[in-house]
Structure 1
Amino acid sequence: MILSLQHLSLPIEDPVLKFFLVLVIILAAPLLLNKIKVPHLLGLIIAGAIIGPNGFNVLSRDSSIVVTGTTGLLYIMFLAGLEIDLGDFKKNKWKSLGYGGYAFIFPFVLGYLGAYYLLGFSVLTSVLFASLFSSQTLITYPLVSKLGIAKNKAVNITVGGTMITDVATLLVLAVVVGMVQGDVNTAFWLRLGGSFVVFGLIVLLIFPIIGRWFFKKVDDKISQYIFVLVMIYLAALLAELAGVEAIIGAFFAGLALNRLIPHTSSLMNRVDFVGNAIFIPFFLISVGMLIDFKVFFNSPDTLIAAGIMLVASIGGKYISSVVTQKTFRFTKDEGRLIFGLSSASAAATLATVMVGYNIIISETETGEPIRLLNEHVLNGSILLILISCTISSFVSMSSAQKIADTENDATVAGNNHDQENILLAVNYEETIERMVNLGILIKAHTNTEDFFAVNVINEDKNESSVKNADKLLGYATEVAAAADVKLTALKRFDNDAVNGVYNVIKEQQITDLIIGLGDLKGFSSSFAHNLYSGYLQHNHVNVYVYQARQPLSTIKRYTVIIPQNAQKDAGFFHALVRVWNIARNSGSTMVFYAPNAIISILQRIIKKSNIEAELIIMEEWKDAEETVTKIKSDEGLIIFMAKRGMQSYNPRMRLVPEFLNRTVPDKNYLLIYPFSEYPVDGNERRSVGNHDDFIEIGSIIKRVFK
């Protein structure tokens, strides 16, 4: 027999059979539990309890489970830092600090009172016991992220507050352990504070520099993903060396790489996919393996301790979420979502309990150890993990779904007014990936079928031309699919390339056309002729001319130049939405140079948005040329242009292509030609420039930037 009795003995030790069983659980849990409305996250924890050493002992919680599970825990914290909207986080930093204070103080007070007055613990033990409930594990964050509300303000401050509560909890642990061991003095505080500051500076300042250099030099997709894993573990290791828990390092790594991994990029899709498919489920199963139901029937003291722990943890988190909701005027669903996200206790709680359990204060007369945290607290923490994760899963799923439905309803109302059908005119293989990435970046929604690529073939249907078109379009489709975006590939046969593109624009009702400049060609005279005599003749399409010399993710800031009277052009606000999407999806800072009238408009918009922007008044178009020459490495350029006859047109705009070839041949730049006529009832057109039109398009901006 190929499978011997040794392979079938329990616990299973054969690595192939063990991994196969875990994969079957990961596969089956969502399929079975979704039918009865039970979050699969909870199902994985229960499955871990059933097959673990305290259940049927099918699998042991050995080093392989622990290592993979630890990666899953680090992954959860890394994704939380990676997906957080830094612009929104900066604007809401005081709210995050306020919520973090509530989430730490209320559970801590309840836990201390229960430990000191009901369980009779000493002051130091009571402080450590109370700190267990202040920490929180974002175990349901992947569920919330999948619903598309990771950028919701309530989620944002909960993630930021989690960093505060976990750091505070682990600092309490470090201080209590130091006091028990008699090591707390001035040197202790200087060492802890200094090492934490050094750790933070290394990760937040040096990691982005390393990441930007790596992504510029290395195009291989596998190497980029492995690099991300290296950064996660390096940050976790540095955190441990600094005296704090590894999960804090993973969260900081997410913040450090936040702007280098755009939320709509193929790399982000790979990071998210592997984490949710393998590492995070392994972590949930490993948590379940710690649960031992038998201990609750063997000792009433364990049940008493567990009851106090549940009241302190879940009650404290509920109070903090209600107070946060009232303080910052969140909706009831957002308040419940804060409670759902924060009520799960797993990572830092386990870390603190295990440290306290392993510290022996003294011994009894019989030689048995007296621990800082006894076995009743250890076993009670297992019940706390199970119940808190159950509550967290149900509450988070319910409230997050309601918020997602509300946001979707609000978005649907504006879809017909701000249609986006984006077309890429692909001609050069070296430009395809950059054009696809730009197209994804400017899209408001990545899950819609409004993304196209076209290659025009001469009508003689030369076989090599057809093969080349298939190759280019296949590559474009592949790049888009890597970011989980559907791209429709179109081949057109026409003697004139511009005419072929124009036919696609009419057939697919294209709103935005992206044209890429070849690496070696730049802004050639033939391209300029096709642009001015062909592409720009489509009056109802935004045209983008794009030159990319480095990956979009490595651009730290963009210089955006807007000419006089641009707000009076029909397509200005629609084009501005695309620029805003670049800022939101990449995290780059936008530096707007514009006349005072447009600066006033931008100021009103920025107040209601979450991008990082600077506003600089520039009244004369000639000043733009001096601004362009000052662009540094890792910076990009965006210029709003205009066709002859538009209100923002300036004769010097005809000199821009030659000027760019001369001054920024090695920089990324994007020329935007907004459409000049606004479509009404199909074929009828009208010029947009009056007050009513301004209000109409302004309302679009408000909906998109909400």
Structure 2
Amino acid sequence: MELMLHVLAVEPTAQVLAKEPIIPFAILLVVILVVPIIFERLRLPGLVGLVLSGILLGRHGWNVFPTETPTMSLLSDIGLVYLMFVAGLEIDLEEFRRKKIPAFGFGSLTFSLPLVVGVFLSRSFGYEWNAAIFIGSIVASHTLLAYPLINRLGVTSNAAVRTTIGATVITNLGALLVLALCLVANSDNLSFWQVLPFFNSLIVYTIVVLIGCNWIGKEFFRRAGDDEGNQFLFVLLSVFLVALVAQFLEIEKIVAAFLAGLAVNEAVGEGPVKEKVVFVGSILFIPIFFVHLGLRIDLPTFFSSLITLQFTILLVVSLFASKFIAAFAAKLLYHYNLQETLTMWSLSLPQVGVTLAAALVGYENGLLSPILLNSVVVLMLVSSIVGSFMTSRFAVGLTASVIKELPFTNQTHIDAGKTDSSPSTIVVPVYNPQTQQYLIEMAALLARQAKNARIIPLAIATAVAHMDAPQLETSIERGERLLLKATALSRVLGVEAQPLLRIDDAFAQGISRAAREQKADLILMGWGKRTGLRARLFGNVIDSVLWSSHCPVAVTRLLESPRKIQRILVPVENFMAPALQPIQFAQILAEANQAQVTVLSVCERRTSSSKIASRRSQLSQIVSNVSSAHPPEIQIIAHENVAQAILQAARLYDLVVLPFVRNRTSPGGLAISDVTTYLARQLTCSIVMLGEPQRTEKSVTVPVGVPSPIPVT
């Protein structure tokens, strides 16, 4: 009786949800917002939580969510195409070129070995050749799910890591090309070998898209100038046009989407347009695809079949074994050490983006049965969780080898030991009279440490169509008043000030252009607390300045006069040179203010005393290269929560200096939260966030999850 009442209670709910599309959409937004946060706090990939949410909400779980509705299907299809486009867009082609020989070698090994093993396993379970080749291909690719982790550890410059990053091009492209062949063979009832002539037209299509779209994209971006809106629309349009042509050639749309991402990769580059493209997909469409995939999973049927369980277990074991053999072969060929080999192995294990997209397409075209789709999802869950965990263990050992390769002198444009005759120039955009004084004081302290230093207070008047417009006159008058106040304050502080009023199309472009024209060594800005959706979607002044600036950008939140700062804390997450720039910045400020700098490193509570001693020795070596007469103190804390450890330590300090760190998203577009996000919101003392220009290191930019974009104040 209770079971019947339960069924009667659930059925009307599902019917209501099917009739009211706004309700499923609201549920989706809640799932997308809450579930990834929970799983990331459990140190699990957020996309795993999305798939599991789909399983629980679907007809084989709580049955509170309709599986097939027009709205859900449309959003899921867009998410699928977007997923593959972002996978191609985020592949680092520059890394592939730098390490093209080992990347091609390892990519071929880590693709062909799982392919052969997967085909052999599938044939042994009685699958026909076409299905067996397809199953082998979808496990041959890999997703750099742990990239944010190795980025945070500072080992992205390691040769083995770069090789693995470059190999992603080979594995993903190879898997998608095999998928296209298998789909044609399945639709025309041909064997895999009978469709090899189709391979020629597929290769021609690939070459035309990669070369043609690349050229068109570069030309469009060159002519579009700074119009980010049109650039954004061009990027999206290229996806659908390439997919449309693919439909006429009977090529699967996810193959076209991936090729489109590769084609416009260089044209888009690392900038605000790419950030917007990835952001739009990562917050909505791609998560919906993962939830919709979970709705299709039939776990009861999966666990009821012993043969399917055996095949799934053997498929997982085959993946781990073949990927290890490929990494070990690369070790022998390119002379990597054991730690690097294990890191390559763990990085190439996760099967997420291309694997799930190909599996879903194969399922929809009859290549995969529902039970085999379940097997692929299990493979994804196991490989992504275990692969990320293994990377967190193996990649730590690469840090020491990277440190030896990095120079730590003359790494920044503002050098405490600067002795040449060229002026040290600090551009200070002024906008908010309430924060202007502290900004000028900070600039003055920094400028005093260089010879012939000068401060350039900068006011931007936004241009309009007519130069005699009243609003432009008002903006100019306001800027002149701010510059007069800044000049008077600089005179009191004993530093030369050269005020500059500029009329420009927008604040960000005006600041970046003026800094370049004045040959600035540093841009010193303030921030506010506005963090709405529109700011995140369309960017803001600080975000745009950091992307386009030629010099470092220091974004400050000063709660008291910089002249009162006596204790400065610099948390260090990794030993990469760009992440260490805050140490040198803090030391310059400390020397000007007779303050003391403390460099803080947080390690896991389980870290052995020998490793802590080694880390202290490494930090001492680094500090000795960036400090002068008064070296910073070194503090190492063993704690299970990095952010909490920094917050506890920061209670005793007047200022915390942090690097801008933008987490590179996975090809799924799902960002993993950064420690900086939490710190910027919780710290109660003054903060300086220092970001190097984009050209120096891709990993040093504004974090996606940080409370930026932040408006200039």
Which TM-score band (shorter chain)? Answer: 0.5 to 0.7
- Say if 2:104 and 2:167, in contact at 8 Å, map to a contact too: no
Aligned to 2:175: 166
Aligned to 1:212: 222
Alignment of 1:262-661 (within 5 A): 262-263=269-270, 265-329=271-335, 335-336=341-342, 338-346=344-352, 348-349=354-355, 376-395=371-390, 419=414, 423-424=426-427, 454-455=457-458, 468=475, 491-493=482-484, 506=495
Tell me the distance in 2 between the aligned counterparts of 1:83 and 1:584. 24
Tell me the distance in 1 between the aligned counterparts of 2:280 and 2:298. 30
Aligned Cα RMSD in Å? 5.5
More deviation in 392-401 or 106-115?
A: 392-401
Sort the Cα spacing of 1:70 and 1:347 in 2 relative to 1 into closer, same or farther, 3 A: farther
- Say if 2:459 and 2:500, in contact at 8 Å, map to a contact too: no
- Aligned to 2:458, the other structure's residue is in SS state strand
Aligned to 1:127: 133
- The answer as to 2:121 corresponding to 1:114 is yes
Aligned to 1:621: none
Tell me the distance in 2 between the aligned counterparts of 1:178 and 1:584. 56
1:235-287 deviations in Å (ceiling 9; x for gaps): 34444545544334333333333344342x43333233323222232222223
Tell me the distance in 2 between the aligned counterparts of 1:407 and 1:514. 43
Q: Which amino acid aligns with 2:286?
A: I
Tell me the distance in 2 between the aligned counterparts of 1:505 and 1:81. 53
- Say if 2:351 and 2:383, in contact at 8 Å, map to a contact too: yes
Q: Which amino acid aligns with 2:384?
A: C
1:54 aligned to which of 46, 57, 60: 60
Alignment of 1:4-15 (within 5 A): 8-9=13-14, 12-13=17-18, 14-15=20-21
Tell me the distance in 2 between the aligned counterparts of 1:579 and 1:330. 35
In the alignment of these two chains, the number of paired residues is 483
Sort the Cα spacing of 1:92 and 1:374 in 2 relative to 1 into closer, same or farther, 3 A: same
Q: Which amino acid aligns with 1:207?
A: G
Q: Which amino acid aligns with 2:311?
A: A
Aligned to 1:256: 263
Aligned to 1:647: none
Aligned to 2:204: 194
Tell me the distance in 2 between the aligned counterparts of 1:286 and 1:579. 35
Decide which structure has the larger Cα Rg and report it: 1
Tell me the distance in 2 between the aligned counterparts of 1:464 and 1:181. 70
1:142-190 deviations in Å (ceiling 9; x for gaps): 7777888778624531432333332443255257548842693785444
- Say if 1:133 and 1:313, in contact at 8 Å, map to a contact too: yes
Sort the Cα spacing of 1:417 and 1:379 in 2 relative to 1 into closer, same or farther, 3 A: closer
- The answer as to 2:32 corresponding to 1:45 is no
Alignment of 1:53-132 (within 5 A): 53-62=59-68, 63-116=70-123, 118-132=124-138
Tell me the distance in 2 between the aligned counterparts of 1:234 and 1:504. 59
The CA deviation at 1:46 is 1.4
- Say if 2:87 and 2:353, in contact at 8 Å, map to a contact too: no
- Aligned to 1:97, the other structure's residue is in SS state helix
- Say if 1:494 and 1:500, in contact at 8 Å, map to a contact too: yes
Tell me the distance in 2 between the aligned counterparts of 1:413 and 1:394. 31
- Aligned to 2:63, the other structure's residue is in SS state coil
- Say if 1:150 and 1:156, in contact at 8 Å, map to a contact too: no
Tell me the distance in 2 between the aligned counterparts of 1:266 and 1:202. 23
- Say if 2:96 and 2:165, in contact at 8 Å, map to a contact too: yes
Q: Which amino acid aligns with 1:303?
A: L
The CA deviation at 1:101 is 0.8
1:23-51 deviations in Å (ceiling 9; x for gaps): 11122124323333223222222112111
Sort the Cα spacing of 1:10 and 1:411 in 2 relative to 1 into closer, same or farther, 3 A: farther
Sort the Cα spacing of 1:423 and 1:133 in 2 relative to 1 into closer, same or farther, 3 A: same
Q: State percent identity of aligned pairs.
A: 24
1:181 aligned to which of 182, 187, 190: 190
Unaligned runs of 5+ in 1: 360-370, 429-451, 458-462, 474-489, 521-529, 545-577, 586-608, 610-677, 684-695
Question: Normalising by structure 2, what TM-score?
Answer: 0.54
Q: Which amino acid aligns with 1:235?
A: V
- Say if 1:133 and 1:312, in contact at 8 Å, map to a contact too: no
1:522-568 deviations in Å (ceiling 9; x for gaps): xxxxxxxx99xx989xxxx7599xxxxxxxxxxxxxxxxxxxxxxxx
- Say if 2:76 and 2:292, in contact at 8 Å, map to a contact too: yes
Tell me the distance in 2 between the aligned counterparts of 1:419 and 1:242. 56
Tell me the distance in 2 between the aligned counterparts of 1:405 and 1:248. 40
Tell me the distance in 2 between the aligned counterparts of 1:343 and 1:270. 29
Tell me the distance in 2 between the aligned counterparts of 1:392 and 1:7. 42
The CA deviation at 1:102 is 1.0
- Aligned to 2:194, the other structure's residue is in SS state coil
Tell me the distance in 1 between the aligned counterparts of 2:387 and 2:119. 23
Sort the Cα spacing of 1:142 and 1:177 in 2 relative to 1 into closer, same or farther, 3 A: farther
Q: Which amino acid aligns with 1:12?
A: L
1:218-251 deviations in Å (ceiling 9; x for gaps): 73x5444333322233334444545544334333
Alignment of 1:657-668 (within 5 A): none
Tell me the distance in 2 between the aligned counterparts of 1:304 and 1:342. 23
Q: Which amino acid aligns with 2:213?
A: V
The CA deviation at 1:107 is 0.8
- Say if 1:456 and 1:492, in contact at 8 Å, map to a contact too: yes
Sort the Cα spacing of 1:584 and 1:394 in 2 relative to 1 into closer, same or farther, 3 A: farther
More deviation in 8-17 or 147-156?
A: 147-156
Aligned to 1:227: 234
